[in-house]
Structure 1
């Protein structure tokens, strides 16, 4: 019997799934009850047909990977095709939705849940019939939130632009609107994506850089490229030198120091190049002294104003030095310039791009994120004493750290272009960080030396990932009082575990917990509040007004006795006992503003690892839904780092800083984005906001106020988003802790 969906919806289509090609049932597993045997598993929907019109597809899958790519095919009488399908990237165990438009009745439906082998489960799957007006409103809203072409415009303006373009190209409005809507869901595998990015975007980025540099040729500084070498593979050494010879910017010199190579072919190769170009200088060391000594020998050959560091088997982009000089011409006070980079294998294939943030001293103390390409003012290199013997393996990191006290945001520039290709070979750090364990040991020593030289109390440890580091910072002998503010209403089943966990699992002793009661009427909750104040650390304060997150916390801040304020949701549960110790050790630093924590959903997926501006139109959570143990983008899930904003679900800030920026905006941002706005105000006041992965807590998100699932709540959320766009504008699209080459659509650090 054919089942039709017309003016109603199937509450659950899971029961209609009929296994097709490359799918087989699994017995004994209540979660992963299906097995994909290839990269093309297929289901049919047991005779279900759909009338034409608009639908909302709702899908929830469980699978091993953090995400999967699902696709729904419709047969309108001519069989299944990619053209008549819709694509939906889904996060593991999360309900994902998208609009579906059918121009006419679909006779049959095929569902491909993923594009890989492995176990999976379909927990929720339904199609809801929609009114056209509602569907179009949702479509245009997504364009405004998620499509680069429609950012910073109203829904009315976005719709007008689509209509004008449709008319100019002779295409139906609906077809063009759907095209843009579908683009907001596009996701590609990283390797394919990067090659696509190289082929389609890199050339235009370099062209824009050249255009920006035009007319600024009154100053052409000499750039000295420094290369230490020892028994390099001649083929790769030649490619390295040839990449310098191929530079579009000509005012350079290449300063090479051979560290007494035992392979005579290396010396022969270098001698040939010296004869070939007078800009190439080579020092042949008579004693092998390792990379720091060799690098210093190369520095002795330098006569340029700026020093570029290049390893003997790596390759520069043809535009590398031109781009460097371009930014120098814009700001002659620069002392450090660095760029994005990628890796290159032995066959020349480029992969694993690293698109870096702007100047981020805390991230530099967690890993050498600057790495390649690094260009330094020669005078600065001389002032700090060049490379230090004894720090081999992290000699570049050590050099940068000794430069840090001489640098600030006005003297550092990041170039968001891939100017450096790091050779990845078996046994190299580029390919296998763990293959050179001495580099991590040298890194610990370099960072500890930095702390000691600058009289910063702290002990450096190995991080959770090779070549990453943790600093256990000291806190004042007289521990500052921390006032933890916990707004709540009813819901003792949520509040009690939160409060009890804080009281029982917090090793930092000097804190007070202020429960801000927002019109609780539940007898059980009131009974708990009356009982919990027996603990001298706890007090309860009544806020008898409609829910306003900002106003409640501002009220609590006025009552706080501590010099540090902690904004804490009532659905937070600490995991590690030293969570507050870690956050206090960071927030007491005079340069730091807000400090955020690492928050998990109850299923151990990431809820918050910092906030990235611009995602979804205003801001999104970094690495949302990643597994608790995932490394994240270049290990950033395990690194202390500066960020533009962090969530107020668990946020510490010094009370004078809170007061200086007038707290949270209770007039315009009563529920959403008040924490992002607050963090940006703190940043504008001259402080650096920071996120630490070493304060770990569970977060049962939005339990107290509920989700934005009513018309009134959605209207309020939309108004608050508009306020943020109006107030902060392009600031939201230029997050210095992110890269313009990364997406503002998804929260996974994928390519733009």
Structure 2
């Protein structure tokens, strides 16, 4: 990079040409780092350098410096102002809240106001960033550091001036990744099309761009911090552990495979200590050093082996990368089971204890996996990943198994160990091959955090984009798996890093689909629903059965008469009291299709391929019900799968999340198995619908009939599935109305009680969810 003359700094966002030009001017500073002065609802809580109420540098790096007294703390920003134009706002704040966000206010002459402010959610252990456009004539800045009472310390707050080209690239990248209007647009086309759209709308393109960019920043607050949650979890005493292990009748040797290549010595020491500190003693540590260049690494490894006979090491003469090194370590393994460990990560002291505890009940397991979290350089734990039980469709979309993964050694050997050429996603590739012909009961989830990912600056744990090659290796791994198990299926990258989408083939010829749409009047909802289905849907073989439950509105009756001119549409009369289950069962008996689609009269598809996606999934022989991704009209999530137990019976996963959010570990954007999906848009094979006797007319006339139906399908041994690639808008409950009378409330209570009696053994142990996650809310927050 071109050397700059003082007093310039060299932020990495600029181009060399810009630096050379700026050096000639010699007056501007690109990096703005205002001093912060408390002006509202803030008080100091710790010592630090402060003059006249202005925050200075605190070299101690320990504890919090400020306490927010209420929900509106404010800092005035003193000193220099940022340069006009595009800036990158960088903020890092340590705090004691479950989650936090900041807002930067910009006064351009009209005072501070929401319209001229920039919102940013803070992420623990990371620098949070976003673009800001600073208008000429800016007079002052104000930083609101939290939106709640709490303690915090500002570690970083600065704005860096950007070249327009760099800013536009970042803008286009975020819109292409997160904004619904641009998800299918190549990044390099976004700015061009933004300008075209703005011209058509009579807007300045930057105004439109900033509005849409702002929409990608969403508010989401966890209800309890992980740190606080950890303090409330029971801890087994050493005596209890010894007593429980003494009762084990099966005490297998567990070999830990540890490939090593040039880690930081301190990280490796912590890793080795975490193995030596295991409560379960029957382990073997198999280390393959992949030609590390640092002699301290060799010394550490030799010292560890000298101190503990359970540690064996092979020093590889040449660097062969992680798959080759893992195979070298695997060759040392003598245990029945093999656990995988990275050289800068750590095991919980009870990790192997919980693995062997699970093996007491499932000694024939071929794969066991646990929850995981991240740990920063200071030892702070954050971002726990509480995983579902065996979820084969989710594994095709992302490597949710990850760590801690423990495999039966003979199965690893049988599939050929680690395959070179899959570096970066070698664990994903191994999990797919090991589980390909395993029975579901042989794959065991351990619902405990047993593994800590080290969140170093360049680690995959701290930044999914730090190792872009992992996404390509994962794509290759899933593609190879499909080539072996499902010829004809195609794999492509998903919308987020290290996620994937499988495009399943339709049978040839495509099966006839019968869409069942119960309705009564409500022409304002029914007309756009039917017109959107008939006009947009590209699926080649379709019949629509409108099940009229006593419409009396003349406009509705005229529309129903007219719509039947479309050869795909039939109107069937159901002149009985409303019973959603009975109406749909009646419609199914009249249907000609090999596939049944249950559809509300208040949904509208957003894309033409929605039904192709759902039918292709439903025609897979091991799949039962298929559900869609439904939005409220304001763009928030109405349905993204059903979680059992929430609210006492069931609730919708990620309800009210923005459509732009990734969701819990990107689960809003990958196909996965759920115990149930909503019948507002549900597709199932006719033979499956008949096999379980359709919907329950007697006990579930209105609510929960879809959940009950899905659970009966699950009992057939079929997996229910939700896909984010069938998207529809749902005007929920507009047609039928809310449960706002005593009769309706009594009926709703009766149906909920029936579900709790009928499915109590399932409602509060949903395999697609986790026992540590809330059953009160629908946001995957901690229980």
Question: Shorter-chain TM-score: which interval?
Answer: 0.7 to 0.9
In 2, are the aligned partners of 1:518 and 1:547 still within 8 Å (CA)?
A: yes
Post-superposition offset of 1:406: 2.7
In the alignment, is the contact (CA less than 8 A) between 1:307 and 1:375 conserved in 2?
A: yes
Cross-structure match for 2:363: 332
2:323 is matched with which residue? 292
Equivalent positions of 1:302-701 (< 5 A) are: 302-701=333-732
Residue 38 of structure 1: how far off its partner (Å): 9.2
Superposed CA deviations along residues 63-88 of structure 1, whole A, max 9, x for unmatched, are: xxxx999xxxxxxxxxxxxxxxxxxx
- Shift of the 353–191 alpha-carbon distance from structure 1 to 2, 3 Å rule, reads farther
Instruction: Check 1:229–1:630 CA distance in 2 against 1; reply closer, same or farther (3 A cut).
Output: same
Task: Indicate the SS of the match to 1:201.
Answer: coil
Structure-2 residue corresponding to 1:240: 271
Instruction: Please report how far the alpha carbon of residue 263 of structure 1 lies from its aligned counterpart in structure 2 after TM superposition.
Output: 1.1
Conserved? CA contact 2:518–2:548, under 8 Å: yes
Residue 172 (structure 2) aligns with: none
Structure 2 vs 1, CA of residues 602 and 191 (structure 1 numbering), >3 Å: closer, same or farther? closer
Given the two structures, how large is their TM-score scaled by the length of structure 1? 0.75
Q: CA deviation at 1:481?
A: 0.6
- Quickly say closer, same or farther: Cα 1:211–1:559, change in 2 above 3 A: farther
**Please, which moves more after superposition, 329-338 or 514-523?**
329-338
**2:781 maps to 1:750:** yes
Q: 2:756 aligns with which of 713, 725, 746?
A: 725
1:707-729 deviations in whole A, cap 9, x for unaligned? 11111111110010000001111
Partner of 1:169: none
**In structure 2, what is the Cα distance between the partners aligned to 1:261 and 1:114?**
47
- 2:232 is aligned to 200
Distance 1:682 1:529 in 2: 33
Contact 2:72–2:148 (Cα < 8 Å) also in 1: yes
1:181-219, Cα deviation, whole Å (9 max, x unpaired): xxxxxx995496211111111526x99995995564222
Count of residues in Structure 1 that have an aligned counterpart in Structure 2: 584
Q: Is the 8 A contact 1:191 1:351 kept in 2?
A: no
Q: Tell me the TM-score normalised to structure 2 length.
A: 0.72
The yes-or-no answer on 1:222 pairing with 2:253 is: yes
User: Quick one: distance in 2 between partners of 1:506 and 1:592?
Assistant: 23
Deviates more, 1:358-367 or 1:323-332: 323-332
Aligned to 2:280: 249
Question: Per-residue deviation at 1:456?
Answer: 3.1
Aligned to 1:156: none
Unaligned runs of 5+ in 1: 1-20, 23-36, 43-66, 70-112, 118-186
- CA–CA distance in structure 1, aligned partners of residues 746 and 239 of structure 2: 40
Using the TM superposition, give the Cα deviation of residue 638 of structure 1 relative to its aligned residue in structure 2, in angstroms.
0.3
In the alignment, what sits opposite 1:115? 148
Contact 1:624–1:747 (8 Å) recurs in 2 = yes
Tell me if structure 2 keeps the 8 A contact 1:337–1:412: yes
Would you say the 8 A contact 1:209–1:323 is kept in 2? Answer: no
RMSD after superposition: 2.4
Contact 2:241 2:279 in 1 (8 A): no
Deviations, residues 233-290 of structure 1 (Å, cap 9, x unaligned): 1111011011000000000000000111111111111111111111000110011110
- The 3 A distance-change label for structure 1 pair 428 and 284 is same
Shift in Å, 1:477: 1.7
Cα distance change on mapping 1:593 and 1:208 into 2, 3 Å: farther
2 CA distance for matches of 1:232 and 1:423? 11
TM-superposed CA distance for 1:571, in Å, is: 0.1
